[in-house]
A and B are shown apart, each in its own frame.
Chain A
């Protein structure tokens, strides 16, 4: 199993550009999430999904879109990048069972810089 994979690992954008961060998992997990990590703030939830076709907003959703057409993939879209979106982005997945509480498996992260 590859686990949770993210591409790209690094990306530099100019303000106003758009891009998609890719996330895929091969563990047949129902839950998938996107977090951003900023110094001194820990990880904050951007969007999450409880299954194909179902997504919802987290703490910091503004400026980001998601969709989940398959169980395996959960891409994160930045429609018009801003310097405030400079961050490290993590995708995570976990299985269902007993109302959650299962380990979230994290991808290796994408470091995004917006100039």
Chain B
């Protein structure tokens, strides 16, 4: 069975600084996807970034980037130039790359990030 672990329940960062959220996972699959989702106080789930395991290049989306270490089964999220609007719960998630697995995300416990002015 797959598991996803986020070992930092809470983190804080000053506005404009950089913060890194950690995620590790366990799987015997070779092909899979990894995601970071953001959940602001509104409770809406928002996709931040996605990584395909077969790609060696780390995904980036504007101020958000990941450090994907497949052998170590590590998938951290770096937020640069943190903004007050980044304050949210962040979830790491895993999905197998197999037929009919598209609706099955496995989530970590979440990291609550506070950006302070």
Question: Interface of A with B (CB < 8 Å)?
Answer: 30-33, 35, 40-45, 48-50, 58-59, 88, 90, 92-104, 106, 108-109
Contact = CB atoms under 8 A, between A and B. Distances in A.
For chain B, the bracket of interface size reads: 20 to 34
A102 B102 contact: yes
Contacts of A106: 44-45
Contact of A42 (B31, B91, B95, B96): B91
Given A40-B9, A101-B97, A109 B43 contact: yes
Contacts of B104: 33, 45, 48, 58, 100
A42 B108 contact: yes
A-B pairs, 9 with minimum CB distance: A100-B102, A31-B103, A42-B107, A106-B45, A48-B103, A101-B33, A33-B103, A43-B107, A31-B102
A43 B43 contact: no
Contacts of B95: 100-101
Contacts of A40: 9, 109-110
Interface of B is mostly: loop
B45 A99 contact: no
21 contacts: A31-B102, A33-B103, A35-B107, A42-B4, A42-B110, A43-B105, A45-B106, A48-B103, A50-B102, A58-B104, A93-B103, A94-B103, A99-B98, A100-B95, A100-B101, A100-B103, A101-B33, A101-B95, A101-B102, A104-B105, A109-B44
Interface of B: 4, 6, 9, 31, 33, 43-45, 47, 50, 52, 91, 95-110
A43 B91 contact: yes
B105 A45 contact: yes
Contacts of A49: 103
B41 to A, nearest CB: 12
A35 B45 CA distance: 12
